[in-house]
Structure 1
């Protein structure tokens, strides 16, 4: 065995050895079993905050409902007030009290939740649905920071710790790249390029480091397991109350901190669902633009032909639809029964089979339209070839293909297709003409912005104009910059294609309730 081969086999053996060591580390650092304590309504001396209890109740894997539980705990302590004006808990409102405006000694995650409530509630309060974020990235970063602060509190209390000790984690991380180093040396000794050696050397280390990173997390301490057992007893006591799971957020005035702990432990399902600090609903957003809070429903015209298209693009689509309609019409009118020759069982076959003739005409017309539309790709030709296969394999004197090929004049399906594509051509042509008009001007607040598939596809921009509870998203060009969720903008739009031609920033978004800077001009 040559030295190069020994390096390759040595690197492979080290990978296996690393995986074995990694598996042993996973087994050795598993969480212990939580022994549930007896059902109890006592919190105990110096009880952990509901957010920390959420971590213990989720077996140190997450902090689900921790933000909602913290909000309820703030309400139980008089810093926040939750009101339910009617019978619908979803219409509850949240208000910041005078004590909450100058609350001292809050933990970082409690201050984070209070800041979010203050940003949305202001001086007059807000619906609880307005607490949710309007951007996925913003919601994810906020909740990630919240989780990090809760874990820091749990570690400070001696309830949680790193799953892998620093020395063990460092040893596994360094060991993950040792096999790659052997592989890189073997590649260099094989007289290959240095770039290839780097690629081969980094790949296995990156894969093993990825596995190590996915396994990183928290695990319990002995004290944490003990306290988790106590809170499991409280969960059993709360679960015994059948109506507790359906309590609304405003019932915190009656149940005090029990509602917060019940939410942290996953018992109060209704309250945990209503008090969401995530990205909220895509099709229903609370807005205060215009002076009063109200829910605004959003429609996304995903299947609307011509949405977000420019005038040249509309003309191209009109030409493509017209080509398909003309091709199908010409094929249907000129087709003769003698074009299709039935296959003779003893004649060796013929390329002019009934199904092949019809498939070639229909698929050929569609391909012409795709070429004109600029959508013809390699996979398109493959799909067209596969689309002709059913007709190619059909032979004989009887059957649907044979009867259709022998039919004089256009088939009903061909007439319908010609009508549809002809109507599309006229529709795109009419939209292109409308694009030449002077654009309209609309002003409002940006409710949501969502991307679409494709880098060049226009993004959805939902705008609240303040005069309706239903809005349809506009098409914002993908290259547009300077517009963010929550900003007030003045748009010049084409209503036919719902395209935003230009955007002017009237007032920037106010993150976390900060005072808005002076308006900027020309954000297009």
Structure 2
């Protein structure tokens, strides 16, 4: 065995050893068993905040419902106020209080939730649905920071710790790249260039580091397991109340902190669902633009032909569809039955099979249309080849292909294709003409911005003009910059394709829940 082969085999053996050691580390650092205490309604002498209880009750895997539980706890302590004006809990409102505005010395995660509420309820209160973020990235960043702050509190209380010790974690991370180093040396000695050797060396280390990263989480301490058992007893007591799971957020005035702890422990279903601090419902957003809070329903025209297309693009599409319809029409009229022959197993003549004669004409027309429309690429040839495959299996003296090839004049399917694609060509041509009109001007607040597939595809921009409860998204060109959710803008738009031609910033978007400006900014 050569030295190069020895290095490769040595690297492979090290990978196996690393996986074995990693498995032992997973087993050795798993959480212990939580022993639930008897059902109890007592919090204890120094109870952990609901946010920390959410971590303990979720097995140290996450802090689901921690933000909602914190909000309810703040309401129970008088720092915010929750009201339900009618019978529908979804219409509940959240209000800032003087005590909440003057609160100081709160833990970071409580201050974060309070800032978010104060920012949204700055002008006399807001619907609880308005707490949700309008931007998915902002929501993810906010919740990630909240989780880190809760974990820091749990560690400070001695209830949680990092899964691996610093020595074990460093050893696993360092040793994950040792096999790759051997592979790199072996690749260089084998005559490969440095780029290939580097790729061979990095790949296994990256894969092992990914496995290690997926296992990084919090781990219970002995005190944490004991406290988790106590809160499991409270969960059992709350679960015994059949109506507790259906309590609305405003019932915190009656249940006090029990509702907050029930939400943290996953007992309440209604309150935790209504108090969402995520990216919210993308089809129903609360807006205060115009002076009063109201829900705005949103439509996304995903299947609307020509949505967001420029005049040039519309003309290309019209030309491509027109060429396809015209080619199919010419081919259908000129096609003769003797262009194809019936073949059997003893004869080749595959190029004159009825299926191939028909598919070549149709696929060829489609390819020509794609070329004219400017959408032809290398994958188109593969699709065209696959589309012609059924023609290879049309043999014998019977079958749809045989009967269709013998038909005089255009087939019904060809009539339908000519009509549909001809109508689409006319539709795009009309849109191109409408695009030449003077653009309209609208002003409003950006409610949401949603991406679409493809880097060059226009994004969805939802604008609230303040005079309707139903709006349709506009197409914002992918290259547009400087527009954010919550900003007030003046847009020049083309209603025919719902395309934004230009955008002027009227008022910049304030950071949602920003601590430094939470008490000064208007509700976005």
For 2:338, the equivalent position in structure 1 comes to 338
Q: Whole-Å Cα distance in 2 between the matches of residues 408 and 176 of structure 1? A: 71
For 1:477, the equivalent position in structure 2 comes to 477
For 1:169, the equivalent position in structure 2 comes to 169
Indicate whether 1:432 and 2:457 are aligned: no
Q: Give the Å deviation of 1:5.
A: 2.6
CA-to-aligned-CA distance 1:316-337 (integer Å, 9 cap, x gap): 0000010011011111212222
The answer to which of 364-373 and 134-143 deviates more is: 364-373
Q: Whole-Å Cα distance in 1 between the matches of residues 157 and 463 of structure 2? A: 46
For 1:300, the equivalent position in structure 2 comes to 300
For 2:183, the equivalent position in structure 1 comes to 183
For 1:374, the equivalent position in structure 2 comes to 374
Partner of 1:351, secondary structure, is helix
For 1:157, the equivalent position in structure 2 comes to 157
Is the Cα–Cα contact under 8 Å of residues 180 and 202 in structure 2 kept in the other structure?
yes
Is the Cα–Cα contact under 8 Å of residues 442 and 493 in structure 2 kept in the other structure?
yes
With normalisation by structure 2, the TM-score equals 0.96
The answer to which of 448-457 and 359-368 deviates more is: 359-368
The answer to which of 110-119 and 333-342 deviates more is: 333-342
Is the Cα–Cα contact under 8 Å of residues 350 and 392 in structure 2 kept in the other structure?
no
For 1:522, the equivalent position in structure 2 comes to none
Q: Give the Å deviation of 1:360.
A: 1.7
Indicate whether 1:230 and 2:230 are aligned: yes
Q: Give the Å deviation of 1:193.
A: 3.0
The answer to which of 325-334 and 281-290 deviates more is: 325-334
For 2:442, the equivalent position in structure 1 comes to 442
For 1:17, the equivalent position in structure 2 comes to 17
CA-to-aligned-CA distance 1:263-304 (integer Å, 9 cap, x gap): 000000111111000000111111000000011111111111
Q: Whole-Å Cα distance in 1 between the matches of residues 2 and 410 of structure 2? A: 74
Higher relative contact order (CA 8 A, sep 6+): 2
Indicate whether 1:409 and 2:409 are aligned: yes
Is the Cα–Cα contact under 8 Å of residues 181 and 201 in structure 1 kept in the other structure?
yes
Q: Whole-Å Cα distance in 2 between the matches of residues 391 and 203 of structure 1? A: 44
Indicate whether 1:271 and 2:271 are aligned: yes
Is the Cα–Cα contact under 8 Å of residues 325 and 421 in structure 2 kept in the other structure?
yes
Is the Cα–Cα contact under 8 Å of residues 448 and 463 in structure 2 kept in the other structure?
yes
CA-to-aligned-CA distance 1:417-468 (integer Å, 9 cap, x gap): 1111111111111111111111000000001011111111111100000010
CA-to-aligned-CA distance 1:379-433 (integer Å, 9 cap, x gap): 2212212212223311233322222222222222211111111111111111111
Is the Cα–Cα contact under 8 Å of residues 60 and 218 in structure 2 kept in the other structure?
yes
Q: Give the Å deviation of 1:132.
A: 0.4
Q: Whole-Å Cα distance in 2 between the matches of residues 200 and 161 of structure 1? A: 36
With normalisation by structure 1, the TM-score equals 0.96
For 2:461, the equivalent position in structure 1 comes to 461
Is the Cα–Cα contact under 8 Å of residues 318 and 424 in structure 1 kept in the other structure?
yes
Partner of 1:503, secondary structure, is strand
For 1:520, the equivalent position in structure 2 comes to none
Q: Give the Å deviation of 1:348.
A: 4.6
Q: Whole-Å Cα distance in 2 between the matches of residues 347 and 10 of structure 1? A: 58
Relative distance call for 1:350 and 1:208 in structure 2 (3 A) is: closer
Partner of 1:504, secondary structure, is strand
Q: Whole-Å Cα distance in 1 between the matches of residues 224 and 400 of structure 2? A: 73
Partner of 1:236, secondary structure, is helix
Q: Give the Å deviation of 1:182.
A: 2.1
Is the Cα–Cα contact under 8 Å of residues 341 and 350 in structure 1 kept in the other structure?
no
Q: Whole-Å Cα distance in 1 between the matches of residues 207 and 394 of structure 2? A: 51
Q: Whole-Å Cα distance in 1 between the matches of residues 108 and 154 of structure 2? A: 13
Relative distance call for 1:102 and 1:12 in structure 2 (3 A) is: same
Relative distance call for 1:345 and 1:195 in structure 2 (3 A) is: closer
For 1:521, the equivalent position in structure 2 comes to none
Q: Give the Å deviation of 1:130.
A: 0.3
CA-to-aligned-CA distance 1:355-389 (integer Å, 9 cap, x gap): 22222222221111111112222222122122122
Q: Give the Å deviation of 1:471.
A: 0.7
Q: Whole-Å Cα distance in 1 between the matches of residues 326 and 187 of structure 2? A: 60
Q: Whole-Å Cα distance in 2 between the matches of residues 399 and 185 of structure 1? A: 62
Partner of 1:312, secondary structure, is helix
Q: Whole-Å Cα distance in 1 between the matches of residues 325 and 123 of structure 2? A: 61
Flag structure 2 segments of 5+ consecutive residues without an equivalent.
none
For 2:202, the equivalent position in structure 1 comes to 202
Is the Cα–Cα contact under 8 Å of residues 509 and 516 in structure 1 kept in the other structure?
no
Equivalent positions of 1:41-80 (< 5 A) are: 41-80=41-80
C-alpha RMSD of matched pairs (Å): 1.5
For 2:214, the equivalent position in structure 1 comes to 214
Partner of 2:471, secondary structure, is strand
Q: Give the Å deviation of 1:224.
A: 0.3
